[in-house]
Amino acid sequence: MRDVVEWLKENGNLKIIDEPLDVELEIPHIAYLEVKKEDSRPILFTKPIYRAKGIEYDMPVLMNIFANKELTQKIFGKHPDTLAEGIDSLLKLKPPKGFKDKLAMIPKLYSLKNVFPKRSNSRGACQEVIIEKDSIDLDTLPILKTWEEDGDRFITMGQVYTQSLDGGMQNLGMYRLQQYGKDRLGMHWQIHKDASHFYDQYQKAGKKMPVSIAIGGDPLYIWCGQAPMPHGMFEMLLYGYVRNQNAQLVKSITNDIYIPRDVDIVIEGFVDPSQMEIEGPFGDHTGYYTLKEPFPVMEVECITMKRNPVFQATVVGKPPLEDKYMGWATERIFLPMLKPMAPDLIDYYMPENGVFHNLILAKMKTLYKGHAQQFMHAFWGVGQMSFVKHAIFVGEDAPELESHEELVRHILNRLDPQKILITQGIVDQLDHSSSETLVGGKLGVDATGDEVQRGIVAPLSDEELLGRVIEIDDRVLGLKQYMTDTKSPVCVMQVRKEQSQKYLISKLHALSSHIKLLIIVDEHRNNLDNPYMLIWRTVNNIDAQRDITLEPFIAIDATNKNSYDGYEREWPGDTLCTKSTLESLRDRGLVEYDEEFIEKWGIL
């Protein structure tokens, strides 16, 4: 990381903050605001302190390494599309027909020689300092508390290395890790993730599971940790492919897990599968808190580090954040791996305000009736793509997927309730919208066809429409229509929620000649003039099976759910910065913001 810091000074416009700053809220809030800026920068905090415990660290905290697309690309050393092309051509390798073919194949095969990690039993640079069990105190690491209501401090950029019970499979996953006291960490590997599958094996066998957590080193390690590699494939293969050099691994001191030799810090230990601990709450990348739930716990046996380690961390919350840029690289690099199961897929795009699993837009070549539906089922059935709640498919004549205005217009002109599929499937464990955990509604929109024939029968202005709506129900407080020049303008209504919105929607059927697509949001924390955050809110809050009706117009209830809706779980709150902390940082000249910035990103 020291090398990375030097490299970032040259290549990444690194911001260095020498002011003593609290690991609780202050450092995370500065990083949070920074990465939302147009010209966002990585930041090195040289003097972290833990004010509540009076600790001053001599270990700096590095944040926002993936601060923007340009820097992310530099970390990879190539544009992610170039890497994707390489993977695509490897997946398409065919047996050579003659000598010329064989020669042409050599460079491709040669590039694979560096894919496999190399293991060594000698000590690595990450083991220059060894802290044995009796001296372990996690308070000596500048672990952050990112949000006021978080359960405690969390390691947010930990590389979690695990292996299967028989040692035949290795895994690297990026999971958050809650600090419990001096020597225990919560393992937030969600039920669908590889480390959780390994954990099941140890649990069945009644054996303790070895885990090693690395922090720092090559920034690509952490990207590999979040990459959705197929089960059983070690992410270090991907590392070797991208870097074109084998990952160099060394054995942990107290367990059999191998970790990269050049990481800054390694926390080694074992998880006793007979014990769980309440984990959370934690302000997560959905922009909501994930609530308390039991998760496995690791007992730390040993901490090793370099002599001058740097602590790497990130903050997750409402988009856009660092995971936007990590996710962008993932999206590009994994396109060729989706194609074998969906060969006519041209491209896909996961806009960050859909927080990856809540919205995907895909462009495809349609060859037969039902082709888009076939893709929906394929997506919902494979790996982590199956977490996606809402998938919209467009044809090859559609604009570029990132041309937001044009694309939305294209979709709205093709929105046909007959071509909408609503079904059920698995959802990300973080999803809060469905009435039960892990399964929920799925929405698939087939917008691959021609424009629909009819638009709104009798369009009204916002004022006229609001007037008519209020006559029906005066708990509708505001209304705004978007894309009124399309066949399906989007009418967003803000309501004071005192009952299930099903009643309002059924009463609004009387206005079906004026409405084609209705979205209802709560009065609080929604701004009708902020479509970016309205999309974020809507795709987060809905369970398609419960919250969408298709006749006589499409109506989407994106309000927060409660017992009116038959929702008995606890509805989580938004991740919001702590006002007093932000104001104090501003008074000290450490952050700059105005009301527009705060409103735009839903910060307070």
Ligand X SMILES: Cc1cc2nc3c(=O)[nH]c(=O)nc-3n(C[C@H](O)[C@H](O)[C@H](O)COP(=O)(O)O)c2cc1C
Shortest distance, position 92 Cβ to ligand X, whole Å: 25
First to last CA, the chain: 33
Residues 423-482 that bind ligand X (CB under 6 A): none
The answer to the question of residue 174 lying near ligand X (CB under 6 A) is: yes
Cα separation of 361 and 598, whole Å? Answer: 28
Cα separation of 6 and 2, whole Å? Answer: 6
> Toward ligand X, which CB reaches closer, 188 or 389?
188
The answer to the question of residue 572 lying near ligand X (CB under 6 A) is: no
Among 8, 30, 195, 242, binds ligand X (CB under 6 A): 195
Residue range at the interface with ligand X (CB under 6 A); choices 124-132, 183-191, 414-422, 511-519: 183-191
> Toward ligand X, which CB reaches closer, 195 or 591?
195
Tokens describing residue 349: 């795009």
> Toward ligand X, which CB reaches closer, 226 or 254?
226
Cα dist from 192 to 406, 439, 555, whole Å? 36, 12, 32
Shortest distance, position 329 Cβ to ligand X, whole Å: 11
Residue range at the interface with ligand X (CB under 6 A); choices 68-76, 167-175, 407-415, 546-554: 167-175
Cα separation of 66 and 12, whole Å? Answer: 10
Question: Which one-letter amino acid corresponds to residue 392?
Answer: I
The answer to the question of residue 178 lying near ligand X (CB under 6 A) is: no
Shortest distance, position 193 Cβ to ligand X, whole Å: 3
Tokens describing residue 204: 């069945």
Residues contacting 443, CB < 8 A, separation 6+: 389, 390, 391, 420, 421, 422, 542, 544, 548
DSSP H or E segment with residue 305? strand 293-305
CB 508 within 8 A of CB 469: yes
Among 26, 194, 279, 574, binds ligand X (CB under 6 A): 194
Q: In sequence order, what are the beta bridge partners of 213?
A: 160, 267
Cα separation of 157 and 225, whole Å? Answer: 9
Residues 201-240 that bind ligand X (CB under 6 A): 225-228
Among 326, 364, 460, 555, binds ligand X (CB under 6 A): 326
Among 26, 218, 264, 323, binds ligand X (CB under 6 A): 323
Residues 245-284 that bind ligand X (CB under 6 A): none
Among 147, 175, 295, 348, binds ligand X (CB under 6 A): 175
Cα separation of 381 and 386, whole Å? Answer: 5
CB 287 within 8 A of CB 574: yes
Gyration radius of the chain over CA positions:
25
CB 42 within 8 A of CB 63: yes
Residue range at the interface with ligand X (CB under 6 A); choices 115-123, 189-197, 406-414, 448-456: 189-197
Nearest to 116 by CA among 263, 236, 257: 236
Shortest distance, position 265 Cβ to ligand X, whole Å: 17
Shortest distance, position 67 Cβ to ligand X, whole Å: 14
Measured from each CB, the residue nearest to ligand X is 193
Shortest distance, position 376 Cβ to ligand X, whole Å: 21
Among 190, 203, 512, 545, binds ligand X (CB under 6 A): 190
Cα separation of 406 and 28, whole Å? Answer: 36
**Phi, psi values for residue 256, rounded to 5°:** -95, 15
Cα separation of 11 and 74, whole Å? Answer: 8
Residue range at the interface with ligand X (CB under 6 A); choices 106-114, 186-194, 213-221, 471-479: 186-194
Among 193, 261, 324, 432, binds ligand X (CB under 6 A): 193
Number of neighbours of residue 434 by Cβ within 10 angstroms: 22
Residue range at the interface with ligand X (CB under 6 A); choices 93-101, 168-176, 415-423, 537-545: 168-176
Shortest distance, position 333 Cβ to ligand X, whole Å: 13
Shortest distance, position 325 Cβ to ligand X, whole Å: 10
Q: Is 11 exposed, middle or buried (0-12, 13-18, 19+ CB in 10 A)?
A: middle
Q: Which residue bears the tokens 């990112």?
A: 146
Q: Which residue bears the tokens 């701004």?
A: 527
> Toward ligand X, which CB reaches closer, 244 or 429?
429
Angle of helix 501-508 versus helix 462-472 axis, rounded to 10: 110
The answer to the question of residue 173 lying near ligand X (CB under 6 A) is: yes
Among 76, 161, 189, 553, binds ligand X (CB under 6 A): 189
Shortest distance, position 497 Cβ to ligand X, whole Å: 31
Residue range at the interface with ligand X (CB under 6 A); choices 4-12, 46-54, 182-190, 466-474: 182-190
The answer to the question of residue 318 lying near ligand X (CB under 6 A) is: no
Q: Which residue bears the tokens 């501003």?
A: 586
Shortest distance, position 310 Cβ to ligand X, whole Å: 18
Q: Which residue bears the tokens 């997927």?
A: 401
User: How many residues make contact with ligand X (CB under 6 A)?
Assistant: 21
Question: Contact positions toward ligand X, by CB under 6 A?
Answer: 171, 173-176, 188-190, 193-195, 225-228, 285, 314, 316, 323, 326, 384
